[in-house]
């Protein structure tokens, strides 16, 4: 029977206090793979924490990252935009903040530091991809309806991670043309990558609270189920 240990965890990026969330099965005694969960533009909320819990139930060490600091969560569109832009305006800072979380996770006694992956949602998908682009030593990343644009400030690094992108074909925030540019980027990088696209599917399709047709953010339970299954298979493959 699972016994999930759940707790907030304080860590720092320079002087910025960050509030992560840890979940793992404490009855499992051996070191296990760790999965970083990077939140959407809202902040490290219950959605991100629940994904860490899901990963713990699958036998992983789940760590929900705080990209904004002090566990801040945006409630309105304006608040979410402000929080995201505070970090996203400088992709070097963004990458450094994810890298801090990666190094923190490696220090847990329950974690096998050689078997780490990252998943991200929307803004978090961009973060996960940027970490991979930086050449970080991780096994793989999964982007759920993530932003795909490559940062202009990054050098051509050797991507070590395998990449899985789960995307709605009708996502108004990332067009099929932008998807093609991304696919060419991954092909030129010479890595193991996958792009799964779901028809009749908009942005934020894994979030049950997404219901704004005007913004193009709409929950799709069928696409969510397919995406979670694809993630599960991918993690089993790269972390076994």
Across the chain, what does the average pLDDT equal?
96
Average pLDDT over every residue of 174-191: 95
Question: Residue 223 corresponds to which tokens in the numbers above?
Answer: 């696409």
Domain at 15, CATH number: 3.40.50.1820
Does pTM top 0.85 for this prediction?
yes
Looking at residue 136, its pLDDT comes to: 96
Q: Is 78 exposed, middle or buried (0-12, 13-18, 19+ CB in 10 A)?
A: exposed
| 185-225 per-position pLDDT tens digit | 999 999 999 999 999 999 999 999 999 999 999 999 999 99
pLDDT at 157 over 80: no
Tell me how far CA of residue 7 lies from CA of 19, 149, 223, 236, in angstroms: 10, 33, 30, 25
> With bands split at pLDDT 50, 70 and 90, how would you rate the model's confidence at 3?
confident
Q: Which residues pair with 62 in a beta bridge?
A: 23, 35
Percent of the chain past pLDDT 70, that is, above it, reads 99
Looking at residue 1, its pLDDT comes to: 62
> Are 190 and 168 in contact, with CB atoms under 8 Å apart?
no
Q: How many domains does the chain have?
A: 1
pLDDT at 156 over 80: no
Residue recorded with tokens 């397919």: 226
Looking at residue 164, its pLDDT comes to: 98
pLDDT at 29 over 90: no
Alpha helices in the chain (DSSP H): 46-57, 77-88, 91-106, 123-133, 176-189, 221-239
Looking at residue 147, its pLDDT comes to: 97
CA 110, CA 61: separation in Å to the nearest integer? 7
Looking at residue 41, its pLDDT comes to: 97
| 50-70 per-position pLDDT tens digit | 999 999 999 999 999 999 999
Average pLDDT over every residue of 7-34: 95
| 77-130 per-position pLDDT tens digit | 999 999 999 999 999 999 999 999 999 999 999 999 999 999 999 999 999 999
pLDDT at 2 over 90: no
Residue recorded with tokens 């961009």: 126
Looking at residue 191, its pLDDT comes to: 95
Could you list the residue range(s) of the whole structural domain that residue 89 is in? 4-239
């Amino acid at each position: 029977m699972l016994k999930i240990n759940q707790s907030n965890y304080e860590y720092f990026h320079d002087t910025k206090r960050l509030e992560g969330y840890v979940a793992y099965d404490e009855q499992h005694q051996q070191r296990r793979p760790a999965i970083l969960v990077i939140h959407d533009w809202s902040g490290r909320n219950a959605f991100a924490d629940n994904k860490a819990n899901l990963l713990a139930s699958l036998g992983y060490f789940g760590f929900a990252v705080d990209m904004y600091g002090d566990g801040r969560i945006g409630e309105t569109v304006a608040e979410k935009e402000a929080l995201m832009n505070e970090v996203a305006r400088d992709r070097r800072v963004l990458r450094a903040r994810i890298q801090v979380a990666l190094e923190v996770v490696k220090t847990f006694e329950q974690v096998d530091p050689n078997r780490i992956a990252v998943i991200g949602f929307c803004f978090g998908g961009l973060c996960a991809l940027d970490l991979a682009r930086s050449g970080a030593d991780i096994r793989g990343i999964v982007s759920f309806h993530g932003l795909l644009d490559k940062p202009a400030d990054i050098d051509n690094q050797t991507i070590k991670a395998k990449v899985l992108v789960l995307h709605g074909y009708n996502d108004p925030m990332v067009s099929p043309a932008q998807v093609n540019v991304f696919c060419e980027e991954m092909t030129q990088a010479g890595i193991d990558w996958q792009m799964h696209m779901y028809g009749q599917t908009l942005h934020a399709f894994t979030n049950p609270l997404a219901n704004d047709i005007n913004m193009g953010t709409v929950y799709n339970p069928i696409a969510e189920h397919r995406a979670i299954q694809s993630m599960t298979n991918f993690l089993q493959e790269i972390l076994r």
